[in-house]
Chain A
Amino acid sequence: MSVLAGHYDAAGQSVTDAARNRRFGPLYSRNVRAVVARGLMATKSSNWMVMVSGFFEPVLYLISMGVGLGAIVGAVQGPGGQQISYAAYIAPALLAVSAMNGAVYDSTWNVFFKMNFAKLYQGMLYTSLGPIDVAMGEIFLALLRGLMYATGFTAVMGVMGLITTPWAILMIPASVLIAFGFASFGMGITSFMKTFQQMDWINFVMLPMFLFSATFYPLSVYPQWIQWLIQAMPLWHGVELLRQISVGVFTPATAVHIGYYLVMIVLGVALTTGRLRKLFLK
């Protein structure tokens, strides 16, 4: 038996030679989909429960705060100055949080484990994959998760009668944009982490961002300097973007929010690729 006997396609070219004769970049082999396919196959067999719990967290917040607290708060002023229910006010913010959580979980804890314990990336980078293939594939998986959360959450909003305009459907792609920003950065930052204690710092940043980014009440309650601080953080831009979309009111600020994420994505992908290269191709 010969395990290396050439396998030929109809045109008489060896299949493995064809795979070798592709065009390669120094850090890229145009094969992101292999990394994505691996992620989907692994998800199929394992962490379904973790994925589902990540989806329910913002839904539970929406029910308790929106329905429970909302009964006391009553109507509040929306982005266009119109009166909307408290639940409709916080729902887009919670959607942004959900996109962030999904992306961050996938790109930090998952990546941390694969990097330091499963040695997955080492194995990948011994094949013809380059660091860009690996980084983009992992980020794409995080986005897919963000997309699933966002779609589910938007459906819940619809069921609860919190969607009043067709514009609201755009919240789904906007959530993916938000997830992209967090995933690309999250993976880059994770590459610096060496211990579980350091990984806890991520939660230490995420929790206050979740609570204070105009999620549950407008930014105007804060003194000016705190407002600036919050406006520098990514989640606030996501919350504002989705809140505007949810009621179909767009201002020049909308472009700023989108631009913030585009810059974040570019910097994050560059950081992650650079780090993977430094860590595994040193």
Chain B
Amino acid sequence: MFRVSELVSKETLVRSPDETGSPQYVITAENLTKSYGDVTAVDGISFRVPAGEAFGLLGPNGAGKSTTMKMIGGVSQRTSGSLSIMGLDPEQHGPEVRAHLGVVPQQDNLDEELKVRDNLLVYGRYFGLPMSYLKPKADELLEFAQLTDKAKSKVDALSGGMKRRLTIARSLINEPRILLLDEPTTGLDPQARHILWDRLFRLKEQGVTLILTTHYMDEAEQLCDRLIVVDKGKIMAEGSPASLIREYSTREVLELRFGSERNATVGAELEGIGERLETLPDRVLIYAHDGEAALEQVSARGLHPVTSLVRRSSLEDVFLRLTGRSLVD
């Protein structure tokens, strides 16, 4: 079918380890930019993802996450910059790049005219895979997605969580090296989310590179080794969840509620406690290394909040600090 020389060159291109011994990157983006007319959705972002990493893209709506995912999948053409997936440019080698990818889009696009198991078989054929491989593989994936007893059901008969799991099972039919997940758990109930997280963990254990966008900070903390926070098409921060919390927040947060009217004025009286103070309409946040100690200082100043809560800093604090609290739509 194909010439030997081609196979050899492809092998070298895709799989040979880096000569310097540095980790091998499956995705390299340099100054990646995408404009739609006057609007710049992605504005010169650069990142590299080594094989086997779970890499998150976080950001508010319209930050450019989905557009970045589409460019990685080769279904959106970049305006400028460079992008390499498994050593290939997705614009020049769309079908070939996508042969390495599994894609879970933001909205399920299952084939409603086909039954559950047939969805997997047909999707596998799109990758040029033979039926002798696909039949056992489909059964295996149905089990993985806990859908074995739904194999012969119609797709519309599935619940939202089941559809999502089927979409993820479908994305694995070609044993992808890289799995792109665009808000994989949006709209799911907690049970369904936890099942999905478990499945994604197992894939990561098996060495699949996960690229994930999400609005849920707990999801990002659970799943991502490393992430970038994107806002207005630019990278605001990059690092592991723990390092981002260290860098952009404190170890603990003290949340105080004095009542809506008092909250706004109490700020001045709290000055100097903790490392940073943030006044919100419903509460006051004090970012401090030791929350309990900060609370004692508050009491020592004769201030008595209606309620107080000491909690650990989370990625959500980092996210809100970096991207602001106002709504963007």
Contacts and interface: CB of A to CB of B under 8 A. Distances in A.
A34 interface: yes
A3 B140 contact: yes
Nearest to A29: B95
Contacts of B2: 21-23
A269 interface: no
B251 interface: no
| Consensus secondary structure, chain A interface | loop
Nearest to A31: B128
A16 B114 contact: no
Interface in B67-86: 73-77
B175 A16 contact: yes
A176 interface: no
Given A1-B144, A120-B111, A34 B122 contact: yes
B122 A281 contact: no
B289 interface: no
Nearest to A118: B112
A34 B128 contact: yes
Contacts of B175: 4, 6-7, 14, 16
A12 interface: no
B254 interface: no
A199 B6 CA distance: 46
Contact of B75 (A29, A37, A119, A280): A280
B208 interface: yes
B6 A123 contact: no
B76 to A, nearest CB: 6
B105 A122 contact: yes
A119 B109 contact: yes
A229 interface: no
B1 interface: yes
Interface string A11-41: 0001110011111111111110011011001
Contacts of B292: none
Nearest to B86: A20
A4 B208 CA distance: 9
Given A7-B133, A34-B128, A128 B95 contact: yes
Interface of A: 1-7, 14-16, 19-31, 34-35, 37-38, 41-42, 45-46, 118-120, 122-130, 133, 280-282
28 contacts: A2-B206, A3-B144, A16-B133, A20-B96, A21-B2, A21-B7, A22-B2, A27-B95, A28-B95, A34-B122, A34-B125, A38-B111, A38-B122, A38-B126, A42-B113, A118-B109, A118-B111, A119-B109, A124-B126, A127-B99, A127-B123, A127-B127, A128-B96, A128-B98, A128-B128, A128-B174, A130-B94, A282-B76
Pairs A-B, 6 closest by C-beta atoms:
A127-B126, A42-B113, A128-B99, A34-B125, A119-B109, A29-B95
